[in-house]
Amino acid sequence: MQKKLDDSGMDAAKPGEASNPYSVGDPAEFARNMVKVGQQSQKLLSDFLKRQNGSGKEPVDPLNISEPFLALMRAMATNPTALVDAQFRLWKDFLGLWESTAYRMLGGEARPVVAPAPGDKRFKDKDWQENQVFDFIKQSYLLTANWIQNTVAGVEGINDDTRKRVGFYTKQFVDAIAPTNFVLTNPEVLRTTMQSNGENLVNGLNNLLEDFERGKGQLSIRQSADSFRIGENIATTPGKVIFRNELLELLQFEPTTAEVYERPLLIFPPWINKYYIMDLRPENSFIKWLTAQGYTVFVASWVNPDRRLAQKSFEDYMREGIFAALDAVEQATGVKDPNVVGYCIGGTLLTATLGYMAATRDDRIHSATFWAAQADFSEAGDLTVFVDEAQLEALHQQMENAGGVLEGSKMATTFNMLRANDLIWSFVINNYMLGKQPMPFDLLYWNSDTTRMPEKTHLFYLRECYKENNLAKGKMVLGGKKIDLTKVTLPVYLQSAKEDHIAPYRSIFKTTKLFKGPIRYILAGSGHIAGVINAPVAKKYQYWTNDSYDGLLKPYPKKVEDWIAGAKETPGSWWPDWDAWLSQHSGKKVPARKPGDGKLKTLGDAPGAYVKIKAT
């Protein structure tokens, strides 16, 4: 039997049931709030347009989107039959959806024609399944979105690079037009609007205005409540600053065991973000856990560079970063060759540095560990869509206009685009449409605590690694030395993560074919952050190992699939596996060292001053 619908097209309430959740509670109050929304919208648009005046220095198409889509249009024009076939498939799919919906409206049970992909959180509200109108909207969108992406992916006559870039921006488009992102087609937002008489939209516009003000005319979406204070409720592991130069502060953390391994551990995080991702809260602090295992832990806290440091080079980061820290660790502990860790771009720098050290017969590093760090960029994931000569030139112009640095907000936007539904659109809905404040979340607070990039270093990195892949090819030159990674023979531990969208595990696995010493490669669960920062106490995720390969007597296969085929899965964190490996390279136990015991005196308490510099 057909269900009765009210005038809005929603299921009408039966006698004795609650009133329709999609009806306005107080029409007069709703009207007043809509007037406020109109006024705020007008002010928002006016302010936005004023801020854009005089900004003509910015490149017209900084992401070079027009070029790949023009190539796509030309390719599609040469094969109109394929487009007609694609349109027929879409029409056929919609015919099936109409039949299914009609059957449901007549009281029958029908399976969905299309369902969200696993892990898609956008359609979790119950009305996306239970309400026929919203279920039809959802399935219509999914059919169309899938059709657009599949049609674009199937176009012949374009090269792989163009196909990848078109596919990436096509996904950005279909994510943006999702019905979840509009008031009238999002059941949760529509209910909230009706039941609050539009108060949520008034609050949301206020949030939007605040975000524009904070971003100085650019939208700066808040992902976390500003309830964290560095050194007070995050980054609280006790330690001292023992060395400082223009590029870094070196932190030495207090021991928590009576004895420690003789060989200290020196960690280089990425300068794209701040070091305290390793020290968010005591329960998930990697640094705190390492001190509890008996390691003397040193961490580089990179400066947030301004225009004074715009011409600092990749080589400067090697000399004033890694080499300066190695010297400081030796003065602090008397140990010449610590074990060293490189995380993300910090690992890429460490890789290049090891090549340089091999060329100059510098043996100041005993072993190297890499967390989510790439050396071979031939399969570097979606970030490669941002690196062609036109985009690099536009980026150069942007940095010149900003005084020789890339503002942290620009980098944050790039990374957020890689997971737009989670890191952009979910907050658009929460903050601006539902009118809520974001929840306090230490990881997202850190994610929003951006840093600037020095022009010379950043362009070198993008060109040499992402664009040309010269580090892996043996063509990168540092300090007059051509970097040959096959000369690196020290022990290496490679960590990768299965769902890492920034440093894909396939890319990291290629490093097993570059170094020529003993290598242990592991694959962790989760992604770029949670795949690394996964304390054992949480008992989350898993990791895979394969002892059939060691990089020496048992060389690694060319394909990661062959490694995975024989891999063993272990529940929980990979940290204990690394600890077992690292302890073998850390020497005997000695009395615990305190910061300031050696030749270097302390300069202040951790977390230091550099980590608190904001990228305003």
Estimate to the nearest angstrom the gap between the alpha carbon of 88 and the chain centroid.
38
Mean pLDDT of 236-252: 98
What pairing do the DSSP bridges indicate for beta strands 492-497 and 604-605? unpaired
**Residues of 293-316 as b/e, b for ≥16 C-beta within 10 angstroms?**
bbbbbbbbbbbbbeeebbebbbbb
Q: Which residue has the higher pLDDT, 41 or 141?
A: 141
DSSP 8-state class, residue 232:
T
Q: Does residue 546 carry a pLDDT above 70?
A: yes
How would residue 11 be classed by pLDDT, with cut points 50, 70 and 90?
A: very low
What is the DSSP code (8-state) at residue 60?
Answer: S
Tokens of residue 214, six digits: 């904070």
Q: If you write DSSP's letter for every residue of 145-192 in order, what string do you get?
A: HHHHHHHHHT--SS-HHHHHHHHHHHHHHHHHT-GGGSGGG-HHHHHH
- The string of DSSP letters for 466-507 reads IIT-HHHHT--EETTEE--GGG--S-EEEEEETT-SSS-HHH
pLDDT above 60 for 534: yes
The answer to whether residue 50 scores a pLDDT higher than 50 is yes
Q: Tell me whether residue 55 is exposed, middle or buried, using C-beta atoms within 10 angstroms of its C-beta: 0 to 12, 13 to 18, 19 or more.
A: exposed
Q: Beta strand pairing status for 519-524 and 542-545?
A: antiparallel
Number of Cβ within 10 Å of residue 174's Cβ equals 17
Report residue 104's pLDDT band, with 50, 70 and 90 as the boundaries. Answer: confident
Burial track 7-44 (b if 16+ CB lie within 10 A, e otherwise): eeebbeeeeeeeebbbeeeeeeebeebeeeeeebeeee
Statement: residue 7 has pLDDT above 50 = no
Report which residue type is found at 15. P
State the chain's mean pLDDT as an integer: 92
Q: Where are the domains of the chain?
A: 27-209, 239-378+469-612
Distance between CA atoms of residues 547 and 563, nearest Å: 10
> What residues have CB less than 8 Å from 73, skipping those under 6 apart?
none
| Max Cα distance, the chain (Å) | 86
Euclidean distance between CA atoms 28 and 18, whole angstroms: 22
| Burial environment of residue 462 by CB neighbours within 10 A (0 to 12, 13 to 18, 19 or more) | buried
Of 5-19, 283-297, 299-313, 538-552, which range is least confident?
A: 5-19
What is the average per-residue pLDDT within 491-520?
A: 97
Instruction: With CA atoms as reference, report the closest residue to 151 among 89, 196, 225, 203.
Output: 89
pLDDT confidence tier of residue 197, bands split at 50, 70 and 90: very high
**Tens-place pLDDT, residues 548-596:** 999 999 999 999 999 999 999 999 999 999 999 999 999 999 999 999 9
Q: What share of the chain is helix, strand, coil (3-state, %, to 5)?
A: 45, 10, 40
Q: Mean pLDDT, to the nearest integer, of 367-394?
A: 95
Output DSSP code: residue 317. Answer: I
**Quick one: tokens of 553?**
């007597």
Cis amide prior to 607 (ω within 30 degrees): yes
Q: Using alpha carbons only, what angle is made at residue 481 by residues 478 and 486, rounded to the nearest 5 degrees?
A: 100
pLDDT value at position 2?
Answer: 37
Residue 60 banded pLDDT, cuts 50, 70, 90: confident
Half-sphere exposure at residue 200, Cβ-oriented, CA atoms within 13 angstroms: 20
Q: How confident is the model at residue 14 (pLDDT cuts 50, 70, 90)?
A: very low
- Looking at 201, 265, 344, 423, which residue is catalytic? 344
pLDDT more than 70, % of the chain: 95
pLDDT value for 3: 39
Cα 354 to chain centroid distance, Å, stands at 26
Confidence of residue 614 (pLDDT cuts 50, 70, 90): confident
Say if residues 101 and 138 touch (Cβ distance below 8 Å): no
Q: Among 519, 505, 532, 496, which residue's Cα sits nearest to residue 585?
A: 519
Mean per-residue pLDDT for 124-135? 95
pLDDT category of residue 58 using cuts at 50, 70 and 90: low
465 labelled catalytic: no
Q: What is the end-to-end Cα distance of the chain in Å, rounded?
A: 61
Domain 239-378+469-612 has CATH 3.30.1360.20: no
CA distance 368 to 326: 13
Q: What is the mean pLDDT of residues 4-8?
A: 40
Structure tokens at 57: 């220095």
Q: Give tens-digit pLDDT for 458-477.
A: 999 999 999 999 999 999 99
Q: Is residue 284 over pLDDT 70? A: yes
Burial of 474 (0-12, 13-18, 19+ CB in 10 A): middle
pLDDT on residue 56 = 52
> Which pTM does this prediction carry?
0.92
